[in-house]
Structures are given as structure tokens and as C-alpha cells.
Amino acid sequence: MSKKTRPVQTVSAEVTPLKGRREGAVLKEETWYEDGKVVAYNLAYINLNRCHVDHGRVLGYDNSHGYHHRHFMGKVEAVEYTSYEALARRFFKEVHELWRIEDAEN
């Protein structure tokens, strides 16, 4: 039996290769829209030099598998979801904090 899928009207995907100290790492933001509303998303900071599990995903948020959750260094936990915009702000704030920590370690 195949899964039912709903039609998605718009998909936005941005992959930003990082430079400098984080050369080889990427920031990924994918969003799927239906009727102007975000119905699926995937936010990820991927750096194989920092994380060797979960395909290098140091930090990420997505709503696959039927629930909103956060990935951090191979661990997954459910998160409260209020809006995509709020979650994206949280993600980028956490990424910048991780970068401050990484820079202090070097």
C-alpha cells in the first residue's frame, strides 16, 4: 500500500556552502508550501568535521515522521511548534551560538 501524498504547490531549497573555518560545512533550508502555508520543513547545519553521526548534522529541525523535532549531534527530541518563522529564528540563533563556541575552541 502506498502512502497518500498531498500536492505541494511550492518548494524552496537553499543550500549555503560555508567558508573559512567551516569550509566543507553547509547550512540547508528546505520548505514546502501549500496554499501559502509551510507544510513541511528541514533546517540543518551539517559539518562532518564536528559531527560524525546523523550524516554530519550538527543541528537540525524538521517535521518528518509526523512530528516536529530537533536533531543535535545524533540525538533527537520532540519540540513545541508555534510557527515556521519562530522555529527558523531559533535555529539560526542556535547555529550562531554553536559557531561562537566552535570559534572559542580553536
| Residues contacting residue 105 through CB under 8 Å, at least 6 positions apart | none
| Residues contacting residue 58 through CB under 8 Å, at least 6 positions apart | 45, 46, 47, 50, 51, 72, 73, 98
What are the pLDDT digits (tens) for 57-106? 999 999 999 999 999 999 999 999 999 999 999 999 999 999 999 999 87
pLDDT category at 3 given cuts 50, 70, 90 is low
What local confidence, expressed as pLDDT, does residue 9 receive?
A: 76
What are the pLDDT digits (tens) for 10-28? 789 999 999 999 999 999 9
* Threshold 0.85, pTM exceeds: yes
What local confidence, expressed as pLDDT, does residue 64 receive?
A: 92
Domain ranges of the chain: 10-105
Name the residue among 54, 53, 47, 52 with its Cα closest to residue 19. Answer: 47
